[in-house]
Amino acid sequence: MSATPEQPFAPSPDETRLQARTVLKSVFGFDEFRPGQEAVITHMLAGGDSLVLMPTGGGKSLCYQIPALVRPGTAIVVSPLISLMQDQVGALKALGIRAEFYNSSLDPMAAEQVLRQLHQGELDLLYVSPERLLMPNFIAQLQSLPIAMLAIDEAHCVSQWGHDFRPEYSRIGALRPHFPQVPFLALTATADQATRDDIVTRLQLQQPRIEIGCFDRPNIRYTVQEKRTPFKQLQSFLDTRDPDDSGIVYCLSRKRVEEVAAQLQDLGYQAKAYHAGLPGDHRSQVHQNFLRDEVRIVVATVAFGMGIDKPNVRFVVHYDLPKNIEGYYQETGRAGRDGLSAEALLLFGGRDINTARYFIEQNTNEEQRRIESFKLSAMVEFAQALSCRRMVLLNYFGQRDGQPCGNCDVCLNPPRVFDGLEAAQKVLSCVYRLGQGYGVRYVVEILRGQENERIRNLNHQTLSTWGIGKEFSAAEWESIIHQLIHQGFLVQDIRNYSVLQFTEKSGQLLKGQVSVELALPKKATGKARGQARRTEKDELSTLQREVFETLRSLRKEIADSEDRPAYQVFGDAVLIEMAKHLPKTDGDLLAIPGIGERKLAQYGFEFLQCLRTF
């Protein structure tokens, strides 16, 4: 579509919805939007700003890709990593979408060609790095062109409260006055309330629609094991996996990455190391080999994987403790993006905590040290949790209405529990008497009747809740309070020194209108053994499994001939549906989610020919 910068785009809401749904089916091959997508897309098509929080694999990209194909002009997408841009542009081109990237990896001739396409209106989407976007000459060029929208991916990098703050990202908000009529869209998979508020302020979003998707990834099984003999634990975990499964093993140090990768190679695994200290061409090769299933396991630091588009990662292992829940959630979210079964294993040891705290103390910014310390404490609480892991994650992100999932290690191997209503009421009463202005340790000191200078100076020994909790040790009370946080009865305010505050559920607990079940801290930790998990491939019959493997071989042949990752032909979920339903016609193929008209035209004949042999 062509338009001048001044031309408004104002079709009726019904027209834009119809256009969006048409693109969803014809280009992307889906009949229905996922929750939240259509509302954001409609708002963006009407020219409004939005902030979108959806889990990894939750469909954030469609929130700007569809408006980019419907609105006049070119959509500019800000992305932090070159490899991420290349993956996404490759996937879009496979769908017939006119997309390119503009970053430092391009030689002058290639960069000039991309800019020529941009100026001639030949691009639907252009992915740019924040450094390139903020160049004055580039800003001036964009101001002379019809810009459909500006999408900022990984928007948590904008905020000082985010887990991956980047100074260059914080400057993107300065573009707002240059593009007052262009809708801005901020997207992230991980942001607490403080981070969300900061994103809106720093990007100068105008009355944005804030869409918060459900953070639950029910296809991922979360497991935490006490770290004892970590490599043997990793080997034991891998021995239970399908040898064709792809996975990522995260380590904190470059040295450990190389050690673990070498040990896995010695055992015959297709494993490679990846960290920022390796040559750029080596990292790029590992990345491409992983995408193309030529390397099954990547052992990496967190330098690997942001926004990775590979949908069939079946497991993520954290060999060391992550620094925060946001990073952990984002990294585990790289497993099972296709919606099929996946696993996340965390090995947790006390030495990891000390190492992480040491690195935090090296930060000279006192405010950042405080933020990072809080986030590390929350990560430790998750690892030590005695309640459903999924509930802990959902509560951390403000979604407090969840029920135990039945599919994490705590649910599958539950600890001993007791009726915790009285203990919980004591905690909440103490928090109330303290004016919701103190943290966990101080509340525990009051409950246990401690006498120290701070308590005497504040005269808190006169509170009615002082000394009412001597039946539990300090460690047990801390466990109880953390469980109440995980169950949504309390929240910690990161912006106010992590003080304990009430939630909308607190009043019901104080009035005794709800029951509370709490877990007793484990005296000794045995090896946790969950129930063996059946995957979608396990559910296939013998014939269906044979069909699936034959289709997978055909997919690899096609992908190799086109020099692209296999998942850009069809994902595993699509092949499983083919194996189950044995489609016979073009119409049958189009009925399978993930197959649009472009993919049908490209690959339909070959796959139907293959299926007819069965």
pLDDT at 7: 45
What is the pLDDT at residue 364? 80
| H-helix or E-strand spanning residue 443 | helix 440-447
Residue 222: strand, helix, or coil = strand
The tens digit of pLDDT for each residue in 419-431 reads 999 999 999 999 9
CATH assignment of 417-519, among 3.40.50.620, 3.30.200.20, 1.10.10.10, 3.30.70.1140:
1.10.10.10
Q: What is the pLDDT of residue 355?
A: 81
13-212 has which fold?
Rossmann fold (3.40.50)
Whole-number pLDDT of residue 10: 55
204-232 tens-digit pLDDT: 999 999 999 888 889 999 999 988 899 99
User: By C-alpha distance, which of 344, 287, 286, 276 is closest to 310?
Assistant: 287
The pLDDT of residue 2 is: 37
User: Which one-letter DSSP state was computed for residue 270?
Assistant: -
State the burial class of residue 285 (Cβ atoms within 10 Å of its Cβ: 0-12, 13-18, 19+).
middle
**Burial class of 39 by CB neighbour count within 10 A (0 to 12, 13 to 18, 19+):** middle
Give the pLDDT of residue 1: 40
What pLDDT, on a 0 to 100 scale, did the predictor assign at position 517?
A: 85
Q: In which residue ranges of the chain is pLDDT below 50?
A: 1-9, 523-530
| Continuous segment of H or E residues that includes residue 43 | helix 37-45
Where do the structural domains in the chain lie, given as residue ranges?
Answer: 13-212, 220-384, 417-519, 542-612
User: Do 13-212 and 417-519 show the same overall fold?
Assistant: no
User: Which pLDDT value is given to residue 520?
Assistant: 77
**In this predicted structure, what is the pLDDT of residue 306?**
57
The dihedrals phi and psi of 211, each to the nearest 5 degrees, come to -110, 115
**Residue 454 Ramachandran class (φ > 0 left, ψ -120 to 50 alpha, else beta):** alpha
Residue 403 has a pLDDT of: 81
Options 1.10.3720.10, 1.10.10.10, 3.40.50.300, 3.40.50.1100; CATH for 220-384 is 3.40.50.300
Written as six digits, the tokens of 243 are 């040898």
Q: Which CATH superfamily is domain 542-612 in?
A: HRDC domain (1.10.150.80)
